Structure 1
Amino acid sequence: MKRSWKAAIAAAGATAMTTASVAWPAPAGNASGNGTGANASGKGRWVLLDAEDFDRPLRVDGAPWRLDPQGKRSPWNVDAFDDDGEAWTRMSGPLFKKQMATLNVYRKRVAFGRKGWLTAEVAAVDKDHDGRPDSRPGLSTVTLPGGQRAARLSEPSWDAGVLIRPTRPLPRHYRVEMTLRGIDFGGKRNGTFDYDGRHNGYTKEPCKTRFPWTFTGALPGKSRCQYHDVTRENGFYYMTILDYATPAPHGNPDIHFRRKVIMDGYYSDLPRWKHAATCNPKTRKMYRTFDGTFNGVNALFARGDKFIGGPDNNISTEYYAKTACGNASLDKHYGPGKRFEGHLTSAELQPQLLPKASYRFAVERDDTGYTLEMSGPFRFIGQATLRVHHDFVEHGRPIWHYNQTPGEYDGRFDRRLVHKGPHGTWVTRHTWPKGSAYPDSFVIGDPHLNYYEGEAVIDDIRLYVPRKDR
């Protein structure tokens, strides 16, 4: 099967660029009906602060690679759960350091856009220690069929990552949005995961595993190729807000304690998701995700009061989903007869309509909480705008690390977490203490160094602030 959006872009050739006009949110009439009323966006509410239409050539791919020195002095150091973090060593002993020594990580950090307001973070693994990355992920300029330019985010191998983030943290109140014109990070096409010589978006070479990062550190007695095969799990972050200023690709577990709100695609047919559900926004009824196309969008709010995997191995915050079919915390059964559990996906995209069609993903933060919005030609309903809002604390349920300043939070949800591995235990003594503060930073792309493979086309990225805040 031909990838229609790729073929269309290739056929377009180099033509004159046309700048897209400011796209205001559509009326909320097609919204999910869950908390959208007072927060429904309007044309007069927002003022454009920064915009990137990719009309100038990107210079990311030509930038030199830098060896990540790892450790606390690394420019990409985050916390105990990043690439060589202390948590993994504590849980798995010297074996983790031995496994980390089998690879190097090379990186690029390139600012672009007006006054450098955006940053591309690109990373790739060097497993044979030849002094260069094993693949060539990147971000480059491409011309769409209408003549306008866009950004092609390319990740030809799973052992790499590419994302776009703001160079500086987001303001207190904002609307940030991006327009998607192409997506090929897995999911089904024409009813099958196998197309274009790939499976679920992955090329079919052997030994594509999550080595060396797991939620418990190194796996004793397991070689690189005996780790979990990742090719049944692919995905893409359309617009997700993290709780620190400088996101970059890291091992898969790192991001699971850093997300505030999430709009992503996760395309997996693993047995543990056999009871997951997807919402049909037209009928407002759920159906089995396994009966769909595996092109869904998850619109999730990370919970600050519940964690997955406890009490001895907390691996992530819990999530809360709001959809046209109802709301659900992912640790509970939901739906008619309580027959669904796990992921509750908001709607399914139709990738075959790209690049002629487009999808817009946006996150808004105001005085009350966060609003997630997606617009485009969704399966079953066609062109629509879906919006859901969650207060910072709603019915006693907080959004994880919502406070950008210490004064926005009083410490009530602080707790102790235990992370147990085969060699030892790492304890997070304070997950969310009084006096803490967490900036907002968005990510678009793939933040994982040991998962996901594919490419996407992004037409524009825009940042708005309320008119009164300008």
Structure 2
Amino acid sequence: MKVTMAAAGATAMAAASAARPVAAESASGAAARGAGGAGRKGWTLVAREGFDRPLTVDGAPWRLDPHGPRSPWHVDAFDDDGEAWRKISGPAFERQLATLNVFRKRVAFGRNGWLTAEIAAVDKDRDNRPDSRPGLANATLPDGQRVGRISEPSWDAGVLIRPTRPLPRHYRVEMTLRGIDFGGKRGGTFDYDGKHNGYTREPCKTRFPWTFWGALDGKTRCEYPDVTRENGFYYLTILDYATPAPHGNPGIHFRRKVIMDGYYSDDDRWKNAGTCDPKTRQIYRTFDGTFNGVNALFVRGDKFREAANNNVSNEYYIKTPCGNVSMDRPYGPGGRFQGHLTSVELRPELLPQAAYRFAVERDDSGYTLEMSGPFRHTGQTTLRVRHQFVEDGRPIWHYNQTPGEYDGRFDRRLVHTGPAGTHTTEHTWPKGSAYPDSFIIGDPHLNYYEGSALVDDIRLYVPDNAR
């Protein structure tokens, strides 16, 4: 089990391979951000965003997404209006999708525009205006520190920060979290500040019209499954295409390589899930915790969630100080737990005076996930977990950035079935394919999640010898 646990050390974050090195800030300046020292041995900082300069995202105009292959936000058959949903749903999906518009913003920011904000909001009454005002703006902490505030006041919207260009072959990317309000418990309850699990209490907050099984024919928006028991936030996750943006919930489940996210849900599916106490290396019931956890997941390229998610979502492999887990099998003492194993829990009440840092590293042979901060049970701690691109015959999904890194051995055919028909993915991972790395911070879902977060100090590094 390749898991390391140590006292929090120096802070770092880096950028695009073509960018020039950025002067490191002083150790005292980084420490004021709650993140440690100014550099990291073996890495050169090439891009950084501290949110000190004014952001222009919220003032940018909204654009109607035209959908279809010509849309700047088109991805593939599992897109918002993708062929997959049309085939498995029949005319029902077309009818339901026609009841709404999607408005978007795509705004570059940071030095040389190295970062991009992707903002999206649904127009449910088709009055040619988004129904809410999600955004990314500057905010100031009590100590005067400037940060970026992700604001998503309604669940039918999404806000992401991503790199403008794909990440280099070898990199370390980091972000510092200074505040989080996307659900979970506060003071032992999901009900606080007039909300439930971070959602305001208006009715009819559902996953319409995107489900893993296509459209639910004959169901109105308000008859779709409610989403307010499931909230969350992507601290730092790597996707397999260059231009991530918010889309319907199912699509992203086919595009993730490695994940560090929070999924705050008291849904019954979590009744057998566990959470790791890194200090004692014992697993406790997630339902006995605070629902402010961090999921550190390596996405499998050889197994898919056939029953639950209709072959659209991969299985995960999880490494923690409490052991290694494949989500499709029971784990823990006597196989007591099954499903998610959450790596550790945050303490949101300590923010913004404290901070959490999340980092992903990619080298010649694998990915390393790192999280640092004052976690529940441990105090200030750094946790690192690593997985080879292919480890014990188990591949990380779409790990290859170039065709030469992969020989086609994990390619397969998948059938996706819905109420009106099937869609077949003939080749999930063919020889000759390549998948760029791009990170996301925020909420990528157009029909889930609601809240706000304070993000600071996004950095990208490349190895010293890559200069």
TM-score, L = length of structure 2:
0.92
SS in 1 for 2:367: strand
- Residue from 375, 379, 391 that aligns with 1:378: 375
1:146: how far off?
1.9
1:311: how far off?
10
Match of 1:201 in 2: 198
Q: Does 1:179 align with 2:188?
A: no
Which letter maps to 1:283?
T
C-alpha distance in 1 between matches for 2:153 and 2:315: 31
C-alpha distance in 2 between matches for 1:341 and 1:279: 13
1:20: how far off?
4.0
- Residue from 400, 412, 415 that aligns with 1:403: 400
Q: Does 1:309 align with 2:318?
A: no
1:154: how far off?
0.2
Q: Decide whether the 8 Å contact of 2:34 with 2:354 is kept in 1.
A: no
C-alpha distance in 2 between matches for 1:85 and 1:311: 20
Does the C-alpha gap of structure 1 residues 321 and 311 become closer, same or farther in structure 2, counting only changes over 3 Å?
closer
Which letter maps to 1:353?
L
Does the C-alpha gap of structure 1 residues 429 and 20 become closer, same or farther in structure 2, counting only changes over 3 Å?
farther
**CA RMSD between the two structures:** 1.6
C-alpha distance in 1 between matches for 2:112 and 2:144: 25
C-alpha distance in 2 between matches for 1:184 and 1:332: 32
Match of 1:321 in 2: 318
**Residues 406-417 of structure 1: matches in 2 within 5 Å?**
406-417=403-414
1:24: how far off?
12
Q: Does 1:458 align with 2:455?
A: yes
**Residues 334-373 of structure 1: matches in 2 within 5 Å?**
334-373=331-370
C-alpha distance in 2 between matches for 1:460 and 1:87: 38
1:312: how far off?
9.7
- Residue from 48, 54, 57 that aligns with 2:54: 57
Does the C-alpha gap of structure 1 residues 26 and 345 become closer, same or farther in structure 2, counting only changes over 3 Å?
farther
**Residues 71-86 of structure 1: matches in 2 within 5 Å?**
71-86=68-83
Match of 1:21 in 2: 30
C-alpha distance in 1 between matches for 2:418 and 2:283: 37
C-alpha distance in 1 between matches for 2:111 and 2:232: 29
1:313: how far off?
2.5
* Per-residue Cα deviation, 1:58-82 (whole angstroms, up to 9, x for no partner): 1000000000000010000000101
Match of 1:147 in 2: 144
SS in 2 for 1:90: helix
SS in 1 for 2:276: strand
How many corresponding residue pairs?
Answer: 439
Runs of 4+ in 1 over 6 A off after TM superposition: 22-27
SS in 2 for 1:202: coil
C-alpha distance in 2 between matches for 1:43 and 1:74: 40
Match of 1:284 in 2: 281
1:460: how far off?
1.2
Q: Does 1:210 align with 2:219?
A: no
% identical equivalent positions: 78
1:174: how far off?
0.2
Match of 1:31 in 2: none
In the alignment, structure 1 segments of 5+ residues that lack a partner are: 1-17, 28-41
Which letter maps to 1:213?
W
Match of 2:120 in 1: 123
Q: Decide whether the 8 Å contact of 2:35 with 2:357 is kept in 1.
A: no
Which letter maps to 2:346?
L
C-alpha distance in 2 between matches for 1:290 and 1:444: 26
- Residue from 224, 236, 240 that aligns with 1:239: 236
- Residue from 444, 448, 458 that aligns with 1:447: 444
Match of 2:390 in 1: 393
Match of 2:97 in 1: 100
SS in 2 for 1:263: strand
